[in-house]
Amino acid sequence: MKPVAGLRNHDDMQRDSVRDFYRLNHRCQTYEFACAKKQEYGRLNHASMGVWRACEKLDELVDDSDPDTELSQMQHLLQTAEAIRRDGRQDWFILTGLIHDLGKLLCLFDEPQWAVVGDTFPLGCAFSDKIIYSEFFDANPDLNLPEFQSAVGCYKKGIGLDKIVMSWGHDEYMYQVCKPYLPVEALYMIRYHSFYAAHQDGEYAYLMDDQDKTMFRSVCDLRSYDLYSKVEDPPDAGVLKPYYCALIEKYFPVTVSF
């Protein structure tokens, strides 16, 4: 399966395959659906493996919708992590770069593409027009629920993102996997790195609490490496494996529940 990622290259976003992906994503990502998936995968009972092995499994996934590179997902993770390491950043940040997209393992559990990748957004409140292809929300059943149609919807101002139901995908899933192991900055990076309407366009700030606003600096920090570390010279996983396995061992147990 080859998932369609959220694109930042606006010249390429008109391609029919990307439009079709977001048409389906925006129709099917409802509040009820996301709550059910969060509960289902929050049990972390779909697989058990080491983190490096999980990264290797991403070589089964190649995102041919990404205009920036034709590298595998594993190679993208290594490129992101290596760019962070070259800048001398904290070891947990390097590790976060390595695993930030690891939640795409959902594709291997037969989840549809629209429930794994793409930009994420809050549910249970009005959809921002800053969300990519926002016009496709016209077919979302949540529009029939009056309590979801205001800016704050079923929430209240400043409630905090932790209490918001986000569209379901690899970000939220990997956050659930990593909660016991990583510092809060890393968890924010993983959980919200596809929430572009917020960290790129400044939307939904009225739902954030003070911690969210502070932590989103870290999310933006990862964005620069995630989007702009892509080159066509593939990293050598075999050469890099000893370093990253030792780094993984510092934060994660030998076997992790997914």
Q: Where exactly are the structural domains of the chain?
A: 16-229+236-257
Closest CA to 140 of 157, 156, 125, 152: 125
Asked whether the whole model's pTM tops 0.85, one would answer: yes
- Residue range 74-87: average pLDDT? 93
Q: Any idea of the CA torsion for 170, 176, 182, 184, to the nearest 10 degrees?
A: 90
End-to-end CA distance of the chain: 19
Q: Angle at which helices 170-178 and 31-41 pack, to 10 degrees?
A: 30
Kindly report the average pLDDT of the chain as a whole number. 90
Mean pLDDT of all residues in 77-86 = 95
pLDDT more than 90, % of the chain:
80
CA dihedral 25, 28, 32, 35 (to 10 degrees): -30
